Structure 1
């Protein structure tokens, strides 16, 4: 029986930006009949008021009445005892999932999630999918590659923490590394939950994963071992540039707001908890009904959107390059780098299936050897590593990641360290004790059974004693960081131009000179007839059929508010890849007077746009570049055409 998309859904979520995201996800699944509540009392009142609610989707971490209070109240009323209930939660640990089902929820989903994951969980709640088992069925995969070598499937996320995997892949493809015992298949995952499930179910042989998630999987019997650290340090804490002025007492800026983290089981959560506690705030750990700062788990790509669109998001703590990119985009200001609180701390780790280790030890040894070698390369050659990293982390250019920005991240003295990958059991124990004892998340495990040092002992040149971590979990350290007003540090000014450095296609319209990021340009064609489209703005010339693809064409002069021009044989149409938000990347053509050449724009060439006097709306201008004694306006194509 198919799910009825007219089902009335009661969505209960206190964080308005997250509620909007969840409504959009429901809409994408054709669920439009949604009523919203921002707390438990409001939800229960709506439940009595509305007579035909067919599904409750409720956040677990609500203020005052939490999700379990709402669930219990619903189940205590005979008329709602069988009402489908889907629990949303920041906490994705296995025991939290089990608690939700045992408490009467029909389904459970951990943040962050994709629309596809939400669809399945709605179907489960409505009885159209079998109820999730607490024991994930393990898959048995063929490991025979076409070359006859052992196929090794390794999962990762597109973050700087996993860059050494990209370097290994690159050098294997180029023949600089020669693998005798395995063939590498790299699998990019959309979320930490998807990656976790792939590792738990045996869909992948290895994964670059947050250490606390890996330990949580091990605690419930997932047969995996930690064989290497993926990196040390490398995360960044930024505050939203919008909203309240950041002034003394600086703690007030964060009060009664949401702070974004990538996962509950993460070092980001742990260090943020330390920092907020040490500056005198009550962070939003489980069990605290009304915290000063509320932790909210966010999808990585949405963190920028949340702080840009909502002042209730005070900031985020995340892996690079997301933080530096937010600073470079003038969305955020730096508060701290993770190593300032915990020097040489672990974060992501390399875990492998027990079965794979036992059956293919030579392949594991060879892979870990390449990992260590790649880590040394990143540390010694950050510029080349950044070039490799951009292709690996952002192959479709959806993030707009650029080499100068990534090089800046890799070169930061207090940033990511890839030259020391030997696993420290002592540091892992620090993580599990702090999270379990002070935050109430995770379970204690036998780390000696979880960590397999066999391969690290062979391939790493140094033990943990050579690069010992130093934890600064003291109020005076956190208060000093807070009070230095890092957002006003002039040394950060260079980050604001990093997004603009690169190659630009230069062009002219009238007596104005412009530049378009070359990564946006697909091709340049001559003028060709356009087919008009009714009821479109005057700047839309129509559409063209280019090799079977219908592409809209915009007269760029008119779109920028300039006078209509006269076009000639030098005029042309530039086909661009434009990010149009939720619709993804679309091809759009722009008509321009003339195209000149591709030029390199360096950081020293860039100046801020003046507030007026350009003849073009400054919101469409990224900055000004002085090239060959001429000033060129660098166009924000996504801003101009993305609507």
Structure 2
């Protein structure tokens, strides 16, 4: 049915930044009449008035009164008891869904959700078509005309799912030639879509977070875990703002928000373990005594939210989101998941039992080729990174770069794909900690859920043989500052890759990103300007536009010299208070354009140069020569640029 665009919606959400995001989703669906409440009590106070409300959308975990308490109040209130009520929450476990349905919700959507997911739930809630409770879905396997099994697999846009993308690429290009199956992959926006499609039999299987798969199994969804999708592969980063000190780490994280991609995730578990180790009490809003608040946020939104919210201390997520954030100057590295629990499971390969039952040879071939795809990633990370760009970001929405993905795939403590055998002891450790220490998820019989027979044949060993070679895992630990500094420095250089124009000053070579250069010219007549610093030489008329010119020698503290026929003015764009502006910098001579990779670039030195290191983006080594890469926006301060432009 069509929804009235003029209906009045009460949105109840304690996190201001999440509230803004959800309002935008609601507005994008065509609804502009949105009332806001910061918690359940605030919502009740508004509902006690005569204010008309056509639909309530509420978070579950909130301080003072949570969404469940609000739901009970609404259903007990004579005036409001028929008001459609949607629970929009990170509380996605099946037991919680059942609890909310028994209390009378009209619909439920799990965070993080898309506009399409919310629209579907809103339509059902307004029409009174409550979601079916306890329905069992079946999947009818599909085959091709020549009898091959059509395997449709769901996934999301993270490096954890690259084995699927590499298998698809190698099959499509003829490197792999499956005899018993064809492969179709479907990229989805959220974990909830992946879980929902697996539960409803819309796909044959999926690569999904292990705790989500366990929760589905506990609810009676007929799935089996056949293989790991990877080991390790996640990253914990902290907000670059806030003055972090290792010896006062607890103070940095205390009383702040921390972002996770899903409550049923290894990221949630490892972040909980680390923060607890610091002596903190992490949890969700509304829990007693917590001093670090977990918020579920879409992974692609985490860098944006972290940059905007000074009350956010960091996030933990699958790569490459964290590395991209470090390279972009938004976050600093705290640790890689493989440093605190080496070889831990995270995402798993699950398939519906109906598909496995009558097609075991095809499933065996599929699992075996996934194992081979994992080895291919290990052996050829540069090629795998190139495949990853098109598989994970086909429309370019994430801005993924091959260099970032290659760094993720070759990181010593990062994602590993060459050993995908599912070890039940590791999965049990995950299950037990989340259930007993965090109160998340249900205990299940892993012997019934995990089928290692396919992986055993593909990997060439059985569970007991593998278990005998594994040392007992200890609890999480904080990596050494030296190890963290080395990893962080390598990641910080990734965004600095690209083409640079090199030029000379006093016999030394410097470089500027070619993306900031407008043009290069010989020296034009420069008109002096009074009452400006000495390094401002004046202004030039560039095709009718007046722009300031600085002598880069003087700005960098190098002795002035006479201009020659090799002297050039490089016109660049710099960041001023009112946006990008053009200015000219005078250099001794222009040399060449070089293409630099992260391997060529090192961080600015703390000593060993007479230059102010705040001007230096990095040091590049090319053909045994060192070039100083300048950060052009730092060469002039905002105050100096404003003074120059004001003349």
TM range (shorter): 0.7 to 0.9
Alignment of 1:526-605 (within 5 A): 560-562=580-582, 599=595, 601-604=597-600
d(CA) in 2 for partners of 1:354, 1:317? 32
Which residue in 2 is equivalent to 1:18? Answer: 18
d(CA) in 2 for partners of 1:54, 1:557? 51
- Aligned-pair CA distance for 1:228: 0.8
Which residue in 1 is equivalent to 2:380? Answer: 381
Which residue in 2 is equivalent to 1:180? Answer: 179
Moved more, 335-344 or 283-292: 283-292
Q: CA contact under 8 A between 1:225 and 1:452: conserved in structure 2?
A: yes
Equivalent of residue 470 in structure 2, options 459, 464, 468: 468
Q: CA contact under 8 A between 1:326 and 1:332: conserved in structure 2?
A: yes
SS at match of 2:335: strand
d(CA) in 2 for partners of 1:470, 1:46? 55
d(CA) in 1 for partners of 2:311, 2:447? 42
- Aligned-pair CA distance for 1:320: 0.9
Q: CA contact under 8 A between 1:625 and 1:633: conserved in structure 2?
A: no
SS at match of 2:144: coil
Which residue in 2 is equivalent to 1:117? Answer: 117
1:157 to 2:177 alignment: no
d(CA) in 1 for partners of 2:20, 2:338? 34
CA displacement, residues 563-591 of structure 1 (integer Å, 9 cap, x when unaligned): 79xxxxxxxxxxxxxxxxxxxxxxxxxxx
Which residue in 2 is equivalent to 1:584? Answer: none
CA displacement, residues 503-541 of structure 1 (integer Å, 9 cap, x when unaligned): 559899xxx975349xxxxxxxxxxxxxxxxxxxx99xx
Q: CA contact under 8 A between 1:238 and 1:316: conserved in structure 2?
A: yes
Q: CA contact under 8 A between 1:402 and 1:499: conserved in structure 2?
A: no
d(CA) in 2 for partners of 1:488, 1:150? 46
Q: CA contact under 8 A between 1:283 and 1:295: conserved in structure 2?
A: yes
Which residue in 2 is equivalent to 1:369? Answer: 368
Which residue in 2 is equivalent to 1:9? Answer: 9
Which residue in 1 is equivalent to 2:77? Answer: 77
Distance 1:205 1:634, change over 3 A: farther
Alignment of 1:249-260 (within 5 A): 249-260=248-259
Q: Give RMSD over aligned pairs.
A: 3.4
d(CA) in 1 for partners of 2:298, 2:212? 16
Which residue in 2 is equivalent to 1:268? Answer: 267
SS at match of 2:175: coil
d(CA) in 2 for partners of 1:399, 1:17? 21
Q: CA contact under 8 A between 1:387 and 1:403: conserved in structure 2?
A: yes
Distance 1:622 1:300, change over 3 A: farther
d(CA) in 2 for partners of 1:513, 1:499? 14
Moved more, 202-211 or 50-59: 50-59
Q: CA contact under 8 A between 2:150 and 2:182: conserved in structure 1?
A: yes
Q: CA contact under 8 A between 1:334 and 1:487: conserved in structure 2?
A: no
Q: CA contact under 8 A between 1:333 and 1:487: conserved in structure 2?
A: no
d(CA) in 2 for partners of 1:167, 1:355? 26
Which residue in 2 is equivalent to 1:573? Answer: none
Distance 1:312 1:183, change over 3 A: same
- Aligned-pair CA distance for 1:49: 3.9
Which residue in 1 is equivalent to 2:323? Answer: 324
d(CA) in 2 for partners of 1:146, 1:472? 52
Distance 1:631 1:488, change over 3 A: closer
Which residue in 2 is equivalent to 1:215? Answer: 214
What is the TM-score with the length of structure 1 in the denominator?
0.78
Which residue in 2 is equivalent to 1:27? Answer: 27
SS at match of 2:444: coil
**What is the aligned residue count?**
552
Q: CA contact under 8 A between 1:136 and 1:201: conserved in structure 2?
A: no
SS at match of 2:301: helix
Q: CA contact under 8 A between 2:601 and 2:618: conserved in structure 1?
A: no
**Between Structure 1 and Structure 2, whose CA radius of gyration is higher?**
2
Alignment of 1:372-521 (within 5 A): 372-462=371-461, 463=463, 464-465=466-467, 468=470, 470-473=472-475, 478=477, 480-481=478-479, 489-501=485-497, 504=499, 515-516=514-515
Which residue in 2 is equivalent to 1:206? Answer: 205
Distance 1:563 1:259, change over 3 A: closer
d(CA) in 1 for partners of 2:403, 2:512? 24
- Aligned-pair CA distance for 1:373: 1.1
Distance 1:633 1:246, change over 3 A: closer
